[in-house]
Structure 1
Amino acid sequence: MTNKETLPGLTSRTVQVGRRQIFISEMGTGHPLLMLHGGGAGASGLSNYSQNIEKLAERFRVIVADMPGYGRSTKGVDRKDPFGDLAGAMLGLLDALNISSAHLVGNSLGGACALRMALEAPARVSALVLMGPGGVNTTRSLPTPGLKLLLDYYSGEGPTLEKITRFIRQYLVYDGSKVSDAMIQERYQASIDPQVVAAPPLRKPQGIPNLRKWDFTRDPRLTQCQVPTLVLWGSEDKVNRPNGAEALRNRMPDCSVYLFSKTGHWVQWERAEEFNAVTAAFLSCRALR
């Protein structure tokens, strides 16, 4: 695996966005490409995209952010509207970087953030690549076992190495044997940061949550969203159901779908070479708006 901290040409810094500090890493030149990570315990931008940054930076100005609540960014997310809070923060990041329009790549929670950005400010988003995004068909069936485990991580006895190992090896990827102990230990240590434990960005809601307002398939703006979109989904995703891909394709005016066989929730890691090629080709063919 690529050492994410020593990529040639990678620079990192913290950017002030409103009341928050957002940690970003950058590499490459060209049209801006903002990459948004998933919401699993211990997630961060660089760890999420360690196998993708260098290749995509050959064509784009790649910007990898730690979203609020994660990594080295300010902790705390509005649990009443997490997608909206994250989207507002990332649009604020584009403002702080003087970027008028960017391609967005988002995995899971990052995919939900990217899609919300496209609905809130379509002129700011030149193209979307979504990998197993959250918030699709959330009200049509019970949460998946993987999503339940993700939301329960900070409940009960709290975070443990056993919990995160089970989530990553059994639910995040198709073949858990490919995940190293070192990678799991890194995620675990990040997940027990005292600031994160005090304000987990994702956890089981108290009472009966109103999931309707978080379900993109119920948002009337979705059918009017003209942003060119590529949806990538693992056929064996145990966190967000793969039928979400077809739900988006049926509703979005310019949406293509690529389903990866024998792949779980972490497409960009499990199928890195193929993901890099498909993503670069799709984004390179999109006219900049």
Structure 2
Amino acid sequence: MNAATDLETSSSRFVTVDGIRIHYNEVGEGTPLVLIHGSGPGASGWANFSRNMGPLSKSYRAICVDLPGFGKSDMKPAGVPIPGWWAEKMGQFLDALGIEKAHFIGNSLGGVISLKLALTRPEKVGRMVLMGTGGSLPLFTPWPTEGIKAILGYYEGTGPSIDRLRAFAQQFVYDPSQLTDELLEKRLKASLDPRIVANPPMRFTPGMVLEEVWRDAGLARLPHETLMIWGREDRVLPLDSAFVLLKQIPRARLLVMPQCGHWAQWEHADEFNATVTGFFG
């Protein structure tokens, strides 16, 4: 095994939250920093943040979680509100670990979950980095984007395949040549977990509430220092999605990374790690 695989294995943990077994990786000491992944096929905490956990653990108690419905965690019940249910579980996750307050990094779905937690339990959240975050709408780009369609349609029709996964992944990065066969095979294997195939976490079911967080008047009262990081070439949640949240959140600022898609933490890992370390202080 290589060093990254060793670290992933040695840092693996489980905790039961409200009857749901949640998997997470924990590395380092100090101020808690919780990293929440996005919703793409094969997503998990470590898959999203493998290039960040080691460097960030030098300054923080870095915790990347598998949301229920992803990775090694238990499944998400069908029909629960999105992102509200996940935000509730993340608050309870902190309680179960005895963490009074943590900084957050949220990627895409993880960003809107972090934002919802800040709205509902503001005392649990320190500073937030929202990276290509959900919870808003683009002002100019046609919606839904091809990237969003790829996520929502991955398990429909003929179902998962390496070609479908490759097409999805190419929507997520600026430079598709970085998508190695090893990376795609790992994501495909994770996406083929029979539990997830039977109950895809992003499948919309009758009665499900998809909360429009950008409409929440509480955004204008959020006290949290917030850094939004966006890839200029993001084709999943495009840059013009940032502007509604930037206008509403009083202490928000925006960093735009050029030659970067939806995975800023992966495509520009060194810059990302240095930037968020400086922001959290």
> Where on the TM-score scale, by shorter chain, does this alignment land: which range?
over 0.9
Runs of 4+, deviation exceeding 3 Å: 77-80, 138-141, 205-211
* CA distance in 1: counterparts of 2:32 and 2:220, whole angstroms: 26
Residue 267 (str. 1) matches residue 235 (str. 2): no
| Aligned match of 1:175 | 175
Letter in 2 for 1:166: A
The Cα of 1:98 is off from its aligned counterpart by: 0.5
Q: Aligned in 2, Cα 1:29/1:9: closer, same or farther, shift over 3 Å? A: farther
Residue 217 (str. 1) matches residue 214 (str. 2): yes
The Cα of 1:76 is off from its aligned counterpart by: 2.1
The Cα of 1:112 is off from its aligned counterpart by: 1.1
Aligned residues of 1:108 and 1:133 also touching (Cα < 8 A): yes
Aligned residues of 1:15 and 1:96 also touching (Cα < 8 A): yes
* CA distance in 2: counterparts of 1:82 and 1:20, whole angstroms: 17
The Cα of 1:208 is off from its aligned counterpart by: 11
| Aligned match of 1:74 | 74
What SS is found at the alignment partner of 1:128? strand
Q: Which moved more, 1:88-97 or 1:136-145?
A: 136-145
Aligned residues of 1:137 and 1:216 also touching (Cα < 8 A): no
* CA distance in 1: counterparts of 2:236 and 2:261, whole angstroms: 8
| Aligned match of 2:39 | 39
| Aligned match of 2:55 | 55
| Aligned match of 1:287 | none
Letter in 1 for 2:163: E
Aligned residues of 2:129 and 2:228 also touching (Cα < 8 A): yes
Aligned residues of 1:22 and 1:65 also touching (Cα < 8 A): yes
Residue 232 (str. 1) matches residue 229 (str. 2): yes
Q: How many residues are aligned here?
A: 279
Residue 195 (str. 1) matches residue 192 (str. 2): no
Letter in 1 for 2:191: S
Aligned residues of 1:32 and 1:60 also touching (Cα < 8 A): yes
| Aligned match of 2:109 | 109
* CA distance in 2: counterparts of 1:22 and 1:257, whole angstroms: 31
* CA distance in 2: counterparts of 1:19 and 1:116, whole angstroms: 22
What SS is found at the alignment partner of 1:172? coil
Residue 89 (str. 1) matches residue 89 (str. 2): yes
In the superposition, the TM-score normalised over structure 1's length comes to 0.92
Letter in 2 for 1:71: G
| Aligned match of 2:150 | 149
What SS is found at the alignment partner of 2:83? helix
Matches within 5 A, 1:157-172: 157-168=158-169, 170-172=170-172
Residue of 262, 268, 280 corresponding to 2:277: 280
* CA distance in 1: counterparts of 2:83 and 2:208, whole angstroms: 14
Aligned residues of 1:79 and 1:201 also touching (Cα < 8 A): no
The Cα of 1:126 is off from its aligned counterpart by: 0.5
Letter in 1 for 2:197: V
Letter in 2 for 1:39: S
In the superposition, the TM-score normalised over structure 2's length comes to 0.94
What SS is found at the alignment partner of 1:221? helix
Runs of at least 5 residues in structure 2 that lack an aligned partner in the other structure: none
* CA distance in 2: counterparts of 1:112 and 1:191, whole angstroms: 22
Letter in 2 for 1:85: W
What SS is found at the alignment partner of 1:7? helix
* CA distance in 1: counterparts of 2:22 and 2:259, whole angstroms: 35
What SS is found at the alignment partner of 1:167? helix
Q: Aligned in 2, Cα 1:12/1:193: closer, same or farther, shift over 3 Å? A: same
Aligned residues of 1:137 and 1:215 also touching (Cα < 8 A): no
Measured on the aligned residues, the alpha-carbon RMSD in Å equals 2.0
